[in-house]
């Protein structure tokens, strides 16, 4: 029976390089996928592209391609990635340069485009934004980027046409996995079990090490070995749609029922309705079975059909955040930190800072869970506390006032004010709209060397 093995070389833009090299050298894989775009990443990349037209792709594209290309060519391993980000053209140009430098020929590279609709937003001004009551047109901000989460069809077509490397901008994360499986097995959206399983495979693998023991260990509760050499996941799927998840033997981490269960529920809402461009999948019949050490069999994901819409992420210049931190030591550290917070608050009134939202945290006490939860299990005294002040402003200058007041504390603040850091950052936020699929034209472009 035909089997295909897919490895996930990266689960975010800044992920380790060694696990990807390990996958191509020891994973016996047919495909390596790099999923590198979080919600805001493309907006940041778009800004880089505006500053320098040769940038705007995932910065780690170069070491990753250099690290795996020769082996991929030798073994016939195909590369599928969204590392094109805001500038797939520049990513392709770089890949072609690398092939030349490494003297590797007979490679076909495909670029998927059409996701970038930044210049085509006028017709969507009346659409109410996701998780909001405002329309896109009511957004009082400079829009930096708008990218459609495309589906798997174009990736499949590029592979049908012989591509060895497929580079995309924004596509649904799972599409990077579903595309190769549609190509290999001829599955369509109407093969409800197979496309459901393919989507689940993508969902489980797309975060890289998060299913092999990353973002998981808790000493004494969930012990995991050798996280410093954490292996990335491999899925082996056959034509029935059933698949196993595993990792390279000898690598760190674990693939177990508990890691699979955690990743199944990662970043989802209704488990009976996991929405992707090619399938709305029901996870409530999914079954995991440990069939060997670090080998889990996965069955039971079924598509309920595909949506008629795409999600579009819109990145916009939202505001500024002025922030700063200062540490206090000793058992009286919390009272001194509170005194300091009071000083800052009064100073910001005196200097007339216009602040839309303001937050005071005491790191070491309540910065993660606020006061009620923290008090429910925290000790009553602290050996040290780091005060953190942050404020949202419309203008850079107002944010700067917050940062400055923190800087002044060395000579004007409470006793032992120490380790002061402050700064201002411009905030790129992301919102989303939902649009009809038929509005979007997806293009595929090929290069051969």
Partner 1 sequence: MKLKEIAHTRTGDKGNMSNIAVIPYEERDYHILKEILTAEKVEEFFSEICFGGVKRYELDNIYAFNFVLEESLGGGVTRSLAIDKHGKSLGMALLEMEI
Residues interacting with partner 1, by CB under 8 A? 39-40, 130-131, 215-216, 218, 221-222, 258, 261-272, 283-288, 300, 318-319, 321, 323, 357-359, 361, 363, 367-373, 376-377, 388, 390-392, 427-430, 432
Q: Closest approach of Cβ 141 to partner 1, in Å?
A: 11
Residues 6+ apart with CB under 8 A from 282: 196, 271, 272, 273, 274, 301, 302, 303, 304
Q: By C-beta, is 207 or 234 nearer to partner 1?
A: 207
Strand partners, 448: 108
Q: Quote the Cα angle for 313-316-318, to 5°.
A: 130
What order do you get walking across the sheet with 280-282 strand by strand?
A: 274-275, 280-282, 302-303
Q: By C-beta, is 290 or 332 nearer to partner 1?
A: 290
Q: Closest approach of Cβ 69 to partner 1, in Å?
A: 33
Q: How many CB atoms lie within 10 A of CB 131?
A: 6
Q: By C-beta, is 161 or 272 nearer to partner 1?
A: 272
Q: By C-beta, is 243 or 288 nearer to partner 1?
A: 288
Q: By C-beta, is 363 or 400 nearer to partner 1?
A: 363
Radius of gyration of the chain (CA): 25
Q: By C-beta, is 215 or 408 nearer to partner 1?
A: 215
β-strand 31-34 against 78-81: which pairing, if any?
A: parallel
Q: Closest approach of Cβ 430 to partner 1, in Å?
A: 5
Q: Quote the Cα angle for 11-12-18, to 5°.
A: 65
Q: Closest approach of Cβ 360 to partner 1, in Å?
A: 10
Q: Closest approach of Cβ 295 to partner 1, in Å?
A: 17
DSSP string, 100-156: HHTT--S-EEEEEE--B-GGG-GGGTTSBPTTSSSBGGG--SEEEEEEE-B-SHHHH
β-strand 165-168 against 78-81: which pairing, if any?
A: parallel
Q: Closest approach of Cβ 39 to partner 1, in Å?
A: 6
Distance CA 165, CA 107 (A): 8
CB 208 within 8 A of CB 6: no
Q: By C-beta, is 123 or 425 nearer to partner 1?
A: 425
Q: Closest approach of Cβ 338 to partner 1, in Å?
A: 18
Q: By C-beta, is 94 or 430 nearer to partner 1?
A: 430
Distance CA 19, CA 247 (A): 10
Q: Closest approach of Cβ 199 to partner 1, in Å?
A: 16
Kindly state the DSSP code that residue 231 receives in the 8-state scheme.
Answer: P
């Amino acid at each position: 029976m035909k089997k295909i093995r897919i490895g996930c070389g990266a689960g975010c833009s800044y992920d380790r390089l060694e696990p990807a090299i390990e996958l191509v050298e020891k994973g016996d894989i047919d495909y390596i996928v790099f999923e590198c775009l979080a919600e805001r990443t493309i907006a940041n990349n778009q800004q880089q592209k505006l500053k320098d037209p040769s940038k705007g792709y995932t910065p780690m594209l170069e070491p990753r391609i250099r690290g795996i290309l020769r082996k991929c060519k030798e073994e016939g391993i195909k590369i599928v990635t969204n590392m094109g980000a805001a500038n797939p053209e520049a990513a392709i140009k770089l890949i072609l340069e690398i092939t030349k430098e490494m003297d590797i020929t007979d490679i076909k590279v495909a670029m998927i485009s059409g996701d970038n609709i930044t210049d085509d937003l006028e017709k969507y001004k009346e659409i109410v934004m996701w998780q909001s009551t405002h329309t896109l047109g009511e957004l009082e901000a400079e829009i930096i980027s708008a990218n459609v989460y495309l589906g798997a069809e174009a990736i499949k077509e590029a592979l049908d046409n012989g591509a060895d490397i497929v580079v995309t901008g924004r596509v649904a994360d799972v599409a990077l996995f579903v595309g190769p499986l549609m190509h290999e097995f001829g599955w369509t959206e109407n093969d409800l079990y197979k496309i459901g399983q393919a989507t689940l495979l993508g969902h489980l693998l797309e975060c890289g090490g998060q299913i092999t023991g990353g973002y998981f260990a808790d000493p004494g509760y969930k012990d995991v070995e050798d996280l410093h050499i954490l292996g990335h996941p491999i899925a082996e799927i056959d034509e029935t749609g059933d698949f196993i998840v595993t990792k390279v033997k000898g690598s760190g981490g674990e693939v177990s029922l508990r890691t699979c269960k955690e990743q199944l529920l990662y970043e989802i809402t209704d488990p009976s309705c996991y929405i992707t461009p090619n399938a709305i999948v029901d996870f409530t019949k999914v079954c995991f079975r440990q069939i060997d050490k670090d080998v889990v069999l996965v069955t039971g994901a079924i598509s309920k059909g595909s949506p008629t819409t795409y999600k579009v992420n819109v990145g916009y210049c939202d505001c500024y955040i002025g922030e700063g931190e200062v540490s206090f030591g000793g058992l009286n550290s919390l009272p001194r930190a509170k005194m300091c917070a009071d000083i800052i608050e009064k100073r910001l009134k005196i200097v007339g800072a216009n602040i839309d939202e303001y937050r005071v945290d005491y790191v070491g006490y309540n910065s993660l869970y606020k006061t009620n939860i923290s008090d429910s299990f925290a000790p009553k005294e602290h050996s040290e506390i780091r005060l953190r002040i942050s404020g949202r402003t419309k203008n850079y200058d107002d944010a700067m006032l917050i940062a400055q007041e923190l800087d002044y504390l060395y000579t004007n603040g409470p006793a032992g004010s120490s380790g002061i850091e402050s700064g201002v950052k411009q905030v790129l936020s992301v919102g989303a709209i939902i649009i009809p699929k038929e509005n979007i034209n997806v293009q595929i472009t090929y290069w051969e060397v």
